[in-house]
Amino acid sequence: MGKILAVLSVFVLIGCQSGPAQLPAPEPVVKAQDTKGTPDERAYQLLKQLTLEEKVQLVGGDGYRTCPIERLGIGTFYMSDGPQGVRNGPGNPPPRACAFPAGVALAATWDIDMAAAYGRAIGLEARARGSHFQLGPGLNICRVPVNGRNFEYFGEDPYLASVIAVDWVKQCAAQGVVPTIKHFAANNQESNRTSVDSQVDERTLQEIYLPAFRKAVIEGGNVAVMCSYNRLNGCYASNNDWLLNLTLKKLWGFKGLVMSDWGASHSVTDLATGLDLEMPWGENLSAKNIEAALAAGTIEPSDLDGAVHRILRTAAAAGWLDAGWEQKNSALPMDSPESAKVALDVAQASIVLLKNDRDTLPLDRSKLQTIVVLGPNSSSAPGSVPINIGGGGSGDVTPFDGRIPEADYFQGITRAAGNNVKVIHLPMPEDADQAVFATFANARTAPNGPPGLTLTVEVTGEGPPVSLPPSVQTSVNITWERGQLPFNVPAGRDATFAWSGVLVSPEESDWVVRTAGRPVITVDGRTIENTNGQMVHLQENRPTPIQIKYRALANPPTRGGRGGGGLLIKAGLQPVASAIPDLSPVKTADAAIVCVGLNRAIESEGRDRSFDLPALQQYLVSRVAALNPRTIVVNNSGAAVGMTGWCQGVAAILQAWYLGQEGGIAIGNVLFGDVNPSGRLCSTFDRTFEDNPAFAYYPGTTPPNGGYPIEPYTEGIFYGYRGYDKANKDPFFPFGYGLSYTTFQLSNLKTKKAGSNVKVSLDVRNTGRRAGAEVVQIYVGQENPPLPRPLRELKGFSKVTLDSDQTKRVEITLPRNAFAYWSPDKKDWTVDSGGTFSIEAAVSERDIVLKDTITIK
């Protein structure tokens, strides 16, 4: 050991570069391409030839790739975000690719065949570009609707998420691409994601937050796992021995590699507690740190060897070490028609019809003359990617230019309407106009003070105290170069800028807040959330206090916390009258389609969002509905948004999630009935955020003595629909809910035991006049359980497509684990002998159609 450490002491690792004093490595006995046997055997053949320096290189990344060991023929393995398509990868500039619908949209299809097609298509997209690891799918559970990354995930139910995940992962891996399931584990909010301690009891983890990961690991083939930023029960996920070693590797038998999220590693001891690869760089798993840790005994040589072995085993299992293997398959098209078809199929099957009064939908081309399409998500500037194509962050994919028109809702509706229907678009006034930010309208430093706001600057960070005099600013519009903030802030220092004063309007009026850079704005003592697009009501000549606050970093982070920082801050007020279009065409139109919701600027990695839609959008929907009784709302979001304020006034609502590059075509086809909506909610839709079972505990609190924030999952297993059932409270729209343009009937439920399984069968009949698909949902509940259990839990489903008046017999098998719960005493899954269970066939979690009981011995 001493001789090896002496060699390492003169070795410096920066990216994949070694220092000039490194001693020459021995000649290889067997190169990677000449190794034989199983993936484990091939990995061992390489491992025993590696020097310590080479091992260290393999456990630290190099941006979006691993470091090669050319001496042994071990190549560079490239990584691409993410869950919704290949966002980046080998080459510069980053490649364009198919922008698939968001993960939540895939889950809303309730279709395992589509999940398989989705995973296969993403695998082929990666192969066309030469990517080895696809950093997705995301398998975190929708615990609260405001999580900024819910759109990437598969909803609130662990069974649905597990089934969708395993087919996605299995088919992606079959293409020679390693899917990287993330974020492991209990990363269910973006608020304080890099510091928060998710405090979750073991039973809740095993029953709710781990099953999708477990199924993907055990059944998904050659996969990798990305650990999350947060702490779990007091310990960072990347340094959590219980999570990574005891649960993932020992209990589940996982043989793949564990990588950190970008910048999520915190210590060299991560190597001992289960981390195998630090991304994007080997900062903690550096040569210097590993040398010191080996000398101190805080890590063992076997820890390093185990990590390297897993990396090489993953490569061998994927075929990347084979002679002649080329990850980039030039025979595959970059702009793939097959991928586009999958994206369209998923988009159309994911749309959920939430409301359809008076059979407003589908629209009948023969009875329409004029349709008005409007709203902030209705269209985009020519040639620009629609902002509602997906959420923000590593799930944001840019499609090819030729696909952009297919994503645009207005163009898709126009295409579906045909030549005999006039489709009028009422674009929103350009809210990025610099004139909006020229001055903060009606602002004064004091009730009788001069125009403008008083700016104060608090300099923070290391260094001597700095005193900067207040100044009066007539606009809130600043930019800065990295490293140097404005207003004479010393170079390299951070600062908090605060503009304060009053708003005084000569008449009672409504104003829209316009911002860039996401400042915190407080008006009349009320902090405005989701700031851009919110509204401020001013009374005539009444001074209304206002403060705009922004903490600016001289050097915003570029990794390890994507979604934060910025080099721009703007804020302004715009009169409501100039913030919405002239609505006069709405009065005479046969229908009005209002496209609202969130987008990649609002719902994004790195931050959570508000529950309600921006106030201007709510105002617009209500105004349009008052003018036209056939108002149809199309909403984009990754989970529930507040609808109670405007739902009653509209005729129909489509929940459209984020539909990717084919979203415009999908919306048009569903609105006009060329496709019958068959999506079902994969998360409960709350009336208010306060109704959500986890609301009281989110987003956690910081202890009085300081330290990191703590988020207790006090609701335990009773979150989502389970929590609503326990509280005997009705949600706004229940889990599994969705309407159709036809009707269905379930009948003849039969249950029978088949060994350790229970087979459930029933008839499904289409009783309407159109072809369509129904999602048969099977829920299981235990009567008089010894431990508290949910009233019912989803344990099986089947999506059935039927022609008018067609009947099919559906059979769903419930394995023994469908009746099990995690016993904290036994530390294992348990089925109570002699337990009586209800078997319910339903079309939503609150619409139980048929019921039977069975006793499990």
**pLDDT tens digits for range 714-728:** 999 999 999 999 999
434-575 CATH choice from 2.120.10.30, 3.40.1800.10, 2.30.130.10, 2.60.120.260: 2.60.120.260
- Give the Cα separation of 778 and 609 in Å (integer): 33
Selected catalytic residue, list 111, 261, 345, 725: 261
3-state secondary structure of 837: strand
Q: What is the pLDDT of residue 857?
A: 80
Among the listed residues 215, 210, 258, 212, the one whose alpha carbon sits nearest the alpha carbon of residue 232: 210
**Known active-site residue 261:** yes
Q: What is the pLDDT of residue 431?
A: 52
Cα dihedral 555, 557, 563, 566, rounded to 10, equals 10
State pLDDT tens for residues 534-582. Answer: 889 999 999 999 999 998 888 876 544 444 445 778 888 888 888 899 9
Q: What is the pLDDT of residue 478?
A: 84
- Give the Cα separation of 150 and 492 in Å (integer): 35
**Phi and psi at residue 747, to the nearest 5°:** -155, 170
Q: What is the pLDDT of residue 5?
A: 34
Amino acid (1-letter code) at residue 641: V
Average pLDDT of the residues in 626-647: 97
- Give the Cα separation of 809 and 696 in Å (integer): 44
- Give the Cα separation of 281 and 65 in Å (integer): 9
**CATH number, domain 2-318:** 3.20.20.300
Average pLDDT of the residues in 330-344: 97
Burial of residue 787 (number of CB atoms within 10 Å: 0-12, 13-18, 19+): middle
User: Which region among 17-31, 46-60, 469-483, 690-704 has the lowest average model confidence (pLDDT)?
Assistant: 17-31
Q: Is the peptide bond before 491 cis (omega within 30 degrees of 0)?
A: no
State pLDDT tens for residues 292-306. Answer: 999 999 999 999 999
Question: How open is the CA angle 807-810-811, to the nearest 5 degrees?
Answer: 160
**CATH number, domain 343-428+580-679:** 3.40.50.1700
- Give the Cα separation of 746 and 851 in Å (integer): 11
Answer whether residue 677 shows pLDDT above 80: yes
* Widest pairwise Cα distance in the chain: 87
Q: What is the pLDDT of residue 557?
A: 65
Average pLDDT of the residues in 258-270: 97
3-state secondary structure of 595: strand
Q: What is the pLDDT of residue 675?
A: 98
Average pLDDT over the chain, rounded to whole?
A: 92
- Give the Cα separation of 793 and 156 in Å (integer): 12
Secondary structure element (H or E) that encloses residue 515, with its range: strand 509-516
Q: What is the pLDDT of residue 437?
A: 58
In this structure, how many other beta carbons lie within 10 angstroms of the beta carbon of residue 44?
17
State pLDDT tens for residues 650-667. Answer: 999 999 999 999 999 999
Cβ(693)–Cβ(715) under 8 Å?
yes
Distance of CA 135 to the CA centre of its chain: 12
Give per-residue burial for 738-764: e unless 16+ CB within 10 Å, then b.
bbbbbebebeebebeeeeeebebebeb
Cβ(350)–Cβ(98) under 8 Å?
no
Cβ(554)–Cβ(484) under 8 Å?
yes
Among the listed residues 128, 126, 140, the one whose alpha carbon sits nearest the alpha carbon of residue 80: 126
Q: Tell me which CATH homologous superfamily contains domain 742-856.
A: Immunoglobulins (2.60.40.10)
- Give the Cα separation of 779 and 346 in Å (integer): 25
- On the question of a common fold for 2-318 and 742-856, the answer reads no
Secondary structure element (H or E) that encloses residue 722, with its range: helix 720-727
DSSP letter for each residue of 266-284: --GGGGTTT--BBSSB-SS
DSSP strands (E only) in 557-697:
568-575, 591-597, 631-636, 652-655
Token readout for 597 is 């919701």
* DSSP bridge partners of 178: 133
Answer whether residue 406 shows pLDDT above 90: yes
Residue 433 pLDDT level (bands cut at 50, 70, 90): very low
State pLDDT tens for residues 596-616. Answer: 999 998 999 998 999 999 999
Cβ(87)–Cβ(137) under 8 Å?
no
State pLDDT tens for residues 438-485. Answer: 567 789 999 999 999 999 999 988 888 898 999 999 888 888 888 889
Between 211-219 and 158-173, two packed helices, what is the crossing angle to 10 degrees?
Answer: 30
Place of tokens 């009937």: 745
